[in-house]
């Protein structure tokens, strides 16, 4: 009896095939470039929303302070913060590109996205809810367009499909919260 624990036969040719296949999967192609570009934009927008809603959480004021602070802006920024970690990991996983997780790049894209919206300290609480509502709608529109574009180019894996659909679903809940917040004040 041999002292080897594993006596399974090994084939150098089979090993080489698997290594070559793995390396080929990591090589650049046009659909991967599109995937990296769109997922980078997605991560930038998601981080922008996290920062913006966190800022709104900090500076909300007025009669609706308690509800806005905890149940609207607090709930939204915490959900996006939790979503961000999984989103970065998904992006690295489906692209094989660790550069997509660069915090400086994501932050730069987030600043670009936030420049399209007024800063929470500069506006009223009602305006924060209205701006947040538009931001959420823009996010869902961006995810929908990205989904369709990636699917059209054959770059949308089943897992990414599910991930983006789940994200859109969660953000539709945020739209509901913000719509109700805006309606409540406008109706009073």
Domain CATH number, residue 125: 1.20.1260.10
Structural domain including 54 reads: 30-187
Instruction: Give the chain's mean pLDDT.
Output: 90
- What is the C-alpha to C-alpha distance for residues 158 and 145, in angstroms, rounded to an integer? 17
Residues 45-103 have pLDDT tens digits of 999 999 999 999 999 998 888 888 888 999 999 999 999 999 999 999 999 999 999 99
In a domain, 1, yes or no: no
As a whole number, mean pLDDT of residues 108-136 equals 97
In a domain, 159, yes or no: yes
Domain count, the chain: 1
Q: Per the structure block, which two tokens stand in for 173?
A: 């809940």
Name the H helices within the chain. Answer: 12-26, 30-59, 65-66, 73-95, 103-114, 125-152, 158-187
In a domain, 164, yes or no: yes
Residues 128-150 have pLDDT tens digits of 999 999 999 999 999 999 999 99
As a whole number, mean pLDDT of residues 31-43 equals 95
In a domain, 4, yes or no: no
Nearest Cα to 56, choosing from 34, 76, 33, 27?
Answer: 76
Q: With a cut of 70, say whether residue 1 has pLDDT above it.
A: no
Q: What is this structure's pTM?
A: 0.83
In a domain, 109, yes or no: yes
The larger pLDDT score, comparing residue 89 to residue 30, is at 89
In a domain, 149, yes or no: yes
Is the separation of the CB atoms in 39 and 91 below 8 Å? yes
In a domain, 45, yes or no: yes
Q: Which residues contact 166 (CB under 8 A, 6 or more apart)?
A: none
| Sign (positive or negative) of CA dihedral 161, 163, 167, 169 | positive
In a domain, 19, yes or no: no
């Amino acid at each position: 009896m041999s002292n080897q624990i594993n006596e399974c036969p090994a084939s150098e040719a089979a090993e080489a095939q698997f290594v070559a296949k793995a390396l080929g999967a990591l090589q650049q192609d046009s659909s991967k470039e599109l995937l990296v570009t769109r997922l980078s934009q997605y991560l930038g927008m998601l981080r922008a929303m996290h920062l913006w809603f966190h800022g709104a959480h900090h500076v909300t004021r007025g009669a609706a302070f308690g509800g806005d602070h905890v149940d609207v802006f607090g709930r939204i920024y915490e959900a996006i913060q939790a979503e961000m970690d999984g989103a970065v990991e998904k992006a690295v996983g489906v692209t094989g590109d660790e550069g997509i997780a660069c915090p400086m790049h994501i932050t730069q894209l987030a600043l670009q996205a936030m420049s399209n919206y007024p800063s929470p300290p500069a506006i009223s609480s009602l305006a924060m809810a209205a701006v947040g509502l538009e931001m959420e709608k823009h996010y869902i529109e961006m995810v929908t367009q990205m989904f369709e574009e990636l699917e059209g180019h054959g770059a949308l894996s089943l897992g990414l499909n599910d991930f983006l659909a789940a994200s859109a679903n969660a953000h539709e809940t945020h739209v509901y919260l913000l719509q109700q917040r805006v309606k409540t004040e406008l109706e009073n």
